[in-house]
Amino acid sequence: MHYVVLGEAGHCTVVDSKPSAGSSLKIVGDQGGYTSLESANKALKDANTECKDVVGEEAEAKFKAAQAKAQQDGVEMLTQKDIEGLSLEQIRTQGVLKSLPD
């Protein structure tokens, strides 16, 4: 499941696990979560009224840049800076580093 969350600083993003009861993250949108990353990202874009900033848009641009670099130069040429801030799901399932171990 994926959840759209609002952090203390007013920034929203998508996470792939439900925040714990004691977490400072507030679930925005569907409290039960979203079954797909795509539907969570759509909800994130629609959550602008509650969010000062949408972190996912930055991460999406960074993801596309890392994916392009991996395809052009090879996965082994990616640096920590290239993938920093990306979710593990983006790195694994969406084609940047499909071979990362669990």
pTM beyond 0.85: the answer is no
**Over the chain, what HEC string results?**
CEEEEECCCCEEEEECCCCCCCCCCEEECCCCCECCHHHHHHHHHHCCCCCCEEHHHHHHHHHHHHHHHHHHHCHHHCCHHHHCCCCHHHHHHCCCCCCCCC
Residue-wise pLDDT for 32-58, tens only, equals 999 998 898 888 877 666 776 656 556
Domain extents in the chain: 3-54, 57-93
pLDDT digits (tens, 9 = 90+) for 56-67: 556 667 777 887
